[in-house]
C-alpha cells in the first residue's frame, strides 16, 4: 500500500490510480524557470514537485518538452525521442521520474502522433522525392488540373489544409500550421515508428500518454470534399464553415488506437487518455471502449462553454452516461487552449469566492479530473496586449477571442519578486499584475484562500470513495443551484453549489439527515439560503 499522505490511494484492478484521480496539468513553458532564460523547464518543475504533491493530486500531465522549432510551442515535434534544450536534458527527465515517483506522483506526457514539425527528419526525407523510403510517410497529393489544392479541406489555424512543395511538385496536408505536416498513419511503417516512440517513453518511466488530437490520426483516402456546416453561426475561421467529416475521425483510427492500447497494457499500471476536441460523446465512446481502446478521453464539454448554469453539469454528465457504454470520463474546466474558466464563466467580478466554488464543483464531479496550473490559485485570464502575443492562433484571431496566450502566462510564485518569482530573466509571456496578488506565497498561510480551500477539497476527494468512484445523481433545486449526490456502497454525499453572486434559498432533499463535511464562502448547512458563490459538502447520517 502506498503512503496516502503522498496523495495516492491504493491501486488495484478495480481502482487503478487514474480512475477518479486528479491530474495536475503543467504547461511547462510557464511553470518554473530554473536558468533565467524566461522559459519554464524540467529542472524548474523538479524544484516545485513538493508544491504539487502538497496539493494532494495523483499525477502530473506535462505539456510537450520534445525537440521542436516551437512554431506551435512544442506541438510541432522535430524529434520525438529527444528533449529540447530549452526544457533540459534526458538526465533531467530521469531525475524528474525518480523525484515524482518518490513523492507518489505519476507522470503523464503529451504524445503528438497526428503530425510532426516540417523540420522532422522524416519529413525532410519525405519531401526529397516521390520514391524514397519515407516518401509516403506524409499525406502528399498532386494538384488539380488548375493548380489548386486537392480538395476543400481547411486548416485549424486558417487557410487551406494544403501547402505546395516545389521539390516534390505536390501538395502536402496539414490540419494545423503549414509547418506541421500530417503523418500518413494509414502506412504500416509510420504506425510502427509511432509505437516505437511510445515504447521509448514508457521504458523511460512515463506512467501515462495523453494522445494529442487523436481523432486527427487518419483521413479519408479518397480526399472527399467536406460538406458545408449549415449549423455554424458567424464562423470566425474558414475551418468552421465545414463539417469535418473526411479529414478527421475516420474509422481506421480506432484500429490503431487498439494497437496503442495493447502496447501500453504490456507495461504495468499505465494510462492512456485521448484528446478528441469537441467530438460528440457517441464518437468519444468509440475511442474509449473499456479494456480495448483508451482508458479515458480528455473531454472538452466544459472547456468551450462561456456560461455556467445549473443545467449544464447535469446535462453534460447525463449525456455522457447515456452515450459512453461504460467508458470512464475525464473532465476539466481550463487548459492551455481555452480561456481560463474563472473569466469564461464570469458574468461579474472574477473573485476568489467564484474561483473556490468552481474548483469545488470540478472536484465533486464523477470521473478523472484535470486541474490546470494556476486554477488552485484562482487565476483569471491574463490580459495580453497585441504587441506581446506570441501564439499564432491568438495573433490571427485578435481581437475576437480571449486567445490562448492569456491562459499560458507564468505561474506566480512570489508576489513581491520580479515576474512573480517565475524567472530571473525576461519571461516569454508577461505576468499579469493582477496575478501577483494571488501568488502562492500570498495564499500559502491564508486559511480561507483559494489555494487552501482547493487543497482541503482534494484531501476530501482522496479519502472519499463516493467522490472518486461513486455514482452520481443530480437534483433540481433551482436555476442558480447545482445539487448532486455521490454514493458508493452505503456512503452518500450531497454537494451543493450556488453559481451566482446573490443569496439563494435552498431546501435539503428528501428530509434526509445530513452533516456538514465542508462549507465554503460562508455557507451553512443549517441555513435556509446559500450566500453568493456559497457551497457545501454534506454526508448522510
Active site residues: 212, 275
Residue 321 is given by DSSP the state H
Contact (CB, 8 A) for 313 and 321: no
The DSSP string of 346-363 is -SS---HHHHHHHHHHHH
Cβ atoms within 10 Å of 423's Cβ, excluding its own: 26
Give the integer Cα–Cα distance in Å for 419 and 411: 9
SS3 for 61?
strand
143, 226, 249, 521 from 220: Cα distances, Å: 17, 10, 9, 52
Cell matching residue 409: 502566462
* 3-state secondary structure labels for all residues of 277-301: CCCCHHHHHHHCCCCCCCCEEECCC
Strand partners, 331: 369
DSSP 476: -
Query: Can you tell me the distance from the alpha carbon of 513 to that of 67, in angstroms, rounded to the nearest whole number?
Result: 57
Question: How far is the C-alpha of 395 from the C-alpha of 126, rounded, in Å?
Answer: 31
Three-class secondary structure of residue 79 per DSSP: strand
Q: Give just the sign of the alpha carbon dihedral 189, 191, 192, 193.
A: positive
Long-range contacts of 120-128 (CB under 8 A, 24+ apart): 120/77, 120/78, 120/79, 121/78, 121/79, 122/183, 122/193, 123/181, 127/165, 127/167, 127/168, 127/172, 128/167, 128/168
CB-CB contact of 309 with 479 (8 Å): yes
Nearest partner of 73 among 398, 386, 405, judged by Cα:
405
Contacts of 479 (CB under 8 A, 6+ apart): 309, 310, 311
Amino acid at each position: 500500500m502506498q503512503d496516502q499522505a503522498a496523495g495516492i490511494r491504493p491501486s488495484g484492478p478495480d481502482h487503478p490510480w487514474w480512475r477518479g484521480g486528479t491530474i495536475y496539468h503543467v504547461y511547462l513553458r510557464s511553470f518554473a524557470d530554473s536558468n533565467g532564460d524566461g522559459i519554464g523547464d524540467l529542472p524548474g518543475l523538479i524544484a516545485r514537485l513538493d508544491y504539487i504533491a502538497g496539493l494532494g493530486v495523483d499525477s502530473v500531465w506535462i505539456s510537450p518538452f520534445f525537440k521542436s522549432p516551437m512554431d506551435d510551442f512544442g506541438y510541432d515535434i522535430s524529434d520525438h525521442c529527444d528533449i529540447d534544450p530549452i526544457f533540459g536534458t534526458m538526465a533531467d527527465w530521469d531525475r524528474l521520474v525518480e523525484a515524482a515517483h518518490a513523492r507518489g506522483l505519476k507522470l503523464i506526457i503529451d504524445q503528438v502522433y497526428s503530425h510532426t514539425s516540417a523540420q522532422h527528419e522524416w519529413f525532410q526525407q519525405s519531401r526529397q522525392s516521390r520514391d524514397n523510403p519515407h516518401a509516403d510517410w506524409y499525406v502528399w497529393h498532386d494538384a488539380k488540373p488548375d493548380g489548386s489544392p486537392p480538395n476543400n479541406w481547411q486548416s485549424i489555424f486558417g487557410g487551406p489544409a494544403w501547402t505546395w512543395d516545389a521539390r516534390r511538385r505536390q501538395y502536402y496536408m496539414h490540419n494545423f500550421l503549414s509547418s506541421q505536416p500530417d503523418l500518413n498513419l494509414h502506412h504500416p511503417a509510420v504506425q510502427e515508428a509511432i509505437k516505437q516512440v511510445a515504447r521509448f517513453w514508457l521504458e523511460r518511466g512515463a506512467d501515462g500518454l495523453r494522445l494529442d488530437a487523436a481523432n486527427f490520426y487518419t483521413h479519408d483516402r479518397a480526399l472527399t470534399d467536406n460538406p458545408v456546416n449549415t449549423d455554424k453561426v458567424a464562423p470566425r475561421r474558414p475551418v468552421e464553415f465545414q463539417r469535418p467529416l473526411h479529414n478527421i475521425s475516420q474509422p481506421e483510427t480506432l484500429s490503431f488506437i487498439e494497437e496503442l492500447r495493447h502496447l501500453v497494457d504490456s507495461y504495468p499500471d499505465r494510462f492512456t487518455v485521448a484528446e478528441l476536441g469537441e467530438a460528440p460523446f457517441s464518437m468519444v465512446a468509440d475511442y474509449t471502449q473499456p479494456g480495448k481502446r483508451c482508458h479515458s478521453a480528455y473531454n472538452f464539454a466544459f472547456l468551450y462553454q462561456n456560461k455556467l448554469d445549473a443545467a449544464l453539469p447535469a446535462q453534460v454528465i447525463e449525456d455522457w452516461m447515456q452515450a459512453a457504454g461504460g467508458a470512464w470520463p475525464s473532465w476539466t474546466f481550463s487548459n492551455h487552449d481555452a480561456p481560463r474558466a474563472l473569466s469564461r464563466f464570469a458574468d461579474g467580478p472574477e473573485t476568489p469566492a467564484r474561483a473556490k466554488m468552481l474548483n469545488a464543483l470540478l472536484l465533486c464531479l464523477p470521473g478523472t479530473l484535470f486541474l490546470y496550473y494556476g486554477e488552485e490559485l484562482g487565476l483569471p485570464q491574463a490580459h495580453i496586449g497585441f504587441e506581446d502575443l506570441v501564439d499564432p492562433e491568438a495573433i490571427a484571431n485578435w481581437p475576437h477571442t480571449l486567445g490562448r496566450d492569456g491562459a499560458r502566462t507564468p505561474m506566480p510564485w512570489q508576489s513581491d519578486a520580479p515576474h512573480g518569482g517565475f524567472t530571473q530573466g525576461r519571461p516569454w509571456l508577461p505576468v499579469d499584475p493582477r496575478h501577483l496578488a494571488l501568488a502562492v506565497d500570498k495564499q500559502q498561510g491564508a486559511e480561507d484562500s483559494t489555494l487552501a480551500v482547493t487543497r482541503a477539497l482534494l484531501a476530501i476527494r482522496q479519502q472519499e470513495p463516493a467522490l472518486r468512484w461513486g455514482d452520481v445523481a443530480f437534483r433540481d433545486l433551482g436555476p442558480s443551484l447545482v445539487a448532486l449526490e455521490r454514493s458508493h456502497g452505503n456512503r452518500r454525499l450531497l454537494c451543493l453549489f450556488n453559481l451566482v453572486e446573490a443569496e439563494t434559498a435552498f431546501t435539503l432533499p428528501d428530509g434526509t439527515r445530513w452533516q456538514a463535511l465542508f462549507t465554503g464562502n460562508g455557507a451553512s448547512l443549517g441555513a435556509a439560503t446559500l450566500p453568493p458563490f456559497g457551497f457545501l459538502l454534506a454526508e448522510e447520517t
